[in-house]
Chain A
Amino acid sequence: MAEIIDMPKLSDTMSVGTLVKWNIKEGQVVAFGDILAEVETDKATMELSCTVPGTILKIYAPAGQQLPVGAPICAIGKKGEAAPEPTAAPAPKAPKTAVPAIPEKAEVSCVPAAPASSGSLSPQSDASRTKASPYAKRMAEKAALNVAALAGTGPGGRVVGRDVAAAASAPAAAAPSGPLNVSVAPPADGKGIQPDADVPVGGMRQTIARRLLESKITVPHFYLEVEVDAAPLMAMRESLNKRLAETGADAIKLSVNDFILKASAEALRRVPAVNASWAGTSIRTHGAVHLSFGVALEDGLVTPVIRDAHAKTLKDIAIEAKALIGKARSKKLTPAEMSGSTFTVTNLGMFGVTGFYGIINVPNAAILSVGATIKKPVVDAQDRLVIGHRMVIGLSGDHRVVDGANAAQFLQALKQLLEEPALMLI
């Protein structure tokens, strides 16, 4: 049977060879060891010697052609035999054993998990990185302590096991000895407005302190304000609540804040540039609106998050907000419920504050601050002096992400939605 001779592998690094010269012709009889051709490899020109005695039936590759190793170059067989059809350089036969599947690297989320009591992601900056030994971290987690809030007595300020042990046994967390030397004379009459005392700061206060300081220092805040005619809103609220009350005694009651949350989501839909985060070399835009809102507790403030607010109705938002407030007050919020927001709304209207500007909840690009609705003299469309019900809304924006114009457009949209709530239907 005829044998096809392939371009041989003449050195271990050879992948192609050039057939420089044929020493034989078709029809010639060749013996073992006869030189068939000269082949140029990456290293030298070598002689190709015959390993199959017989007659040259066919030459497939002309002199001068460059071919990959394994490509057919000629056929040798018995005289008169038909030359076989050359197949292209065959793919190397796969070995019988299956190549072991290299296990896919588990999807590693680049987003660090939010620490338990903070609201959302903290930026990667050295100031916020806590050095703690792996063992200390584990102990802290078990004791539900925030290792970042502990003072480290290990080398380089590292938090080590004994620090966590000390913090866990003494309820007062070890306060970092800062440069704050507060020395103030106590009341001369001995009966002051409150005790002179060093009240230890717990985990929540520590976290608030750290995160808001960070926000204030690292985010370039700018402030815009808009005054909204709250009368249409109040009217809608009253009529909707009456309707809801008809469904039963335990019917949900919509609050002003619920409307503002819904309107914020809709305003973001119209000006989505504000629903973004600064990511260093890029701005990350968020498709979902996860709204967080402030809930005051006796020892601090938490910001639970309503996820996918853009896809929820006013009623859903109201129900969810009420549930979250309840959980916040009973300290039952989970870390997931306190993290991942894209926009924050705070409201001090219930205290009569007429207007204010909040500190941005990093990595949100803005925070909305809602004041109380108050009666005041206003000029109406017909230039008459009338009584108006006005609400001042402030927006603090992160100038790296949002420019004045965007922020203004957002506030404009929000104002329109609040003054003409029916617009939220389209």
Chain B
Amino acid sequence: MAVISYREALRAAMREELKRDDKVVIMGEEVAQFNGAYKVTEGLLKEFGPKRIVDTPISEAGFIGLGIGASMLGIRPVMELMFWSFSYVAFDQIVNNAGNIRYMSGGLINCPIVIRGPANGGTNVGATHSHTPEAILASHPGIKVVCPATPYDAKGLMKAAIRDNDPVYVMENTILYNDKGEVPDEDYIVPLGVADVKRVGTDLTIVAHGRAVITSLKAAEILEKEHGVSVEVVDLRSIRPLDEETILASVRKTHRALLVEENKPFCGVDAQVAYLIQSKAFDELDAPIHRVSSIDAPQIYCKRMEDLQMPNVERVVAEALKVLA
């Protein structure tokens, strides 16, 4: 089994699907000639040529809408947003068109598109480039959203997303691009709607997605070594569809839940998870559900403060101890 980076895993997924299905097209700003703003698509133009790997002008509403229109006729575009923060420029296309066309036509049409790109803060780039819109997007029926945290999940989810016949939006993370992990060489997918218990424990359940999973795993180490607490970490992997059963099974085991997300608190993903847990596992709870989100403000520029604004290891450990009190 190879040990590759998250970036390489994404690239491998796209390459394999480009080979497998000639309707797959990679499209976005700087994806071809520049080899990708974050080098995710590096080498693909050389291998597949300009018909399959397409550079677009800076025109999100235009090219995302174009991709959606093409998908109605069977093309399977994988469109890159340089940052998911730029999705708001194309919000009408992403939400109103991709999300609704099947429904408004009474099921006559489907849009098998993938939109992918980094959705994260923590990179000192300020408020307009640091969004994590998974909650906003997932709140629209018609749309699917996934958030891989490891190279294995990145490749598996990307392949599943490309093969999926509905719009799937993949939230990547620039900070995770360099993380390395074991990835099988053979063809595999990670199905949508299946969470993963990344760490088994008995005293506390931490539910997280994206980079917050990595943070939570680090916090779990500290909680075990310094506080003698056994923490279970559930990685959602898929926001919509959502694996409710894995979350509930974990809470039934540990009776205490801490939710960790990079979203801002109001109606972030964890708001939905908290509702789920109290609604379906009320009698299992030995403490109220706690949450660590990003501090509720536009993303601050000052790097030291941004690190505090994010759900960092210290805040997760402190909140975990409160839940265990």
Binding site for B on A (CB under 8 A): 133-138, 154-155, 160-161
Contact = CB atoms under 8 A, between A and B. Distances in A.
A363 to B, nearest CB: 29
A134 B325 contact: no
A113 to B, nearest CB: 16
A137 B283 CA distance: 8
Contacts of B284: 134-135, 138
A139 to B, nearest CB: 9
Given A133-B286, A133-B287, A154-B287, A161 B325 contact: no
B95 to A, nearest CB: 25
A197 to B, nearest CB: 34
19 contacts: A133-B255, A133-B286, A133-B287, A134-B284, A134-B285, A134-B286, A135-B283, A135-B284, A136-B286, A137-B283, A138-B283, A138-B284, A154-B325, A155-B287, A155-B325, A160-B286, A160-B287, A161-B255, A161-B286
Secondary structure dominating the interface of A: helix
Interface in B255-294: 255, 282-287
A135 B325 contact: no
A31 B218 CA distance: 80
B325 A133 contact: no
A154 B283 CA distance: 16
Interface residues of B, number: 8
Contacts of B282: 134
Interface string B171-194: 000000000000000000000000
Contacts of A136: 286
B230 to A, nearest CB: 15
Interface string B285-325: 11100000000000000000000000000000000000001
Interface string B41-57: 00000000000000000
A160 B255 CA distance: 10
**Which of B255, B286, B287, B325 counts the most A-chain CB atoms under 10 A from its CB?**
B286
A138 B325 CA distance: 19
Nearest to A134: B283
A131 to B, nearest CB: 11
Contacts of A160: 286-287
Nearest to A132: B286
B294 to A, nearest CB: 25
Contacts of B286: 133-136, 154, 160-161
Nearest to A139: B286
Interface string B187-216: 000000000000000000000000000000
Contacts of A154: 286-287, 325
A254 to B, nearest CB: 49
A205 B272 CA distance: 45
A133 B323 CA distance: 12
B321 to A, nearest CB: 12
Given A133-B255, A134-B282, A155-B287, 8 more contacts: A133-B286, A133-B287, A134-B283, A134-B286, A135-B285, A138-B284, A154-B286, A160-B287
A251 B286 CA distance: 55
A55 B133 CA distance: 62
Contacts of A155: 287, 325
A31 to B, nearest CB: 37
A136 B285 CA distance: 8
A161 B202 CA distance: 14
Contacts of B285: 133-135
A135 B255 CA distance: 7
Nearest to B282: A134
A155 B323 CA distance: 9
A56 B92 CA distance: 49
Contacts of A134: 282-286
Contacts of A135: 255, 283-286
A128 B284 CA distance: 24
A154 B285 CA distance: 13
Contacts of B283: 134-135, 137-138
B283 to A, nearest CB: 5
B280 to A, nearest CB: 12
A349 to B, nearest CB: 48
A155 B321 CA distance: 12
A154 B323 CA distance: 10
Contacts of B287: 133, 154-155, 160
A337 B286 CA distance: 32
Nearest to A159: B286
Task: Pick the 7 closest A-B CB pairs, nearest first.
Answer: A135-B286, A134-B283, A161-B286, A133-B286, A138-B283, A135-B255, A160-B286
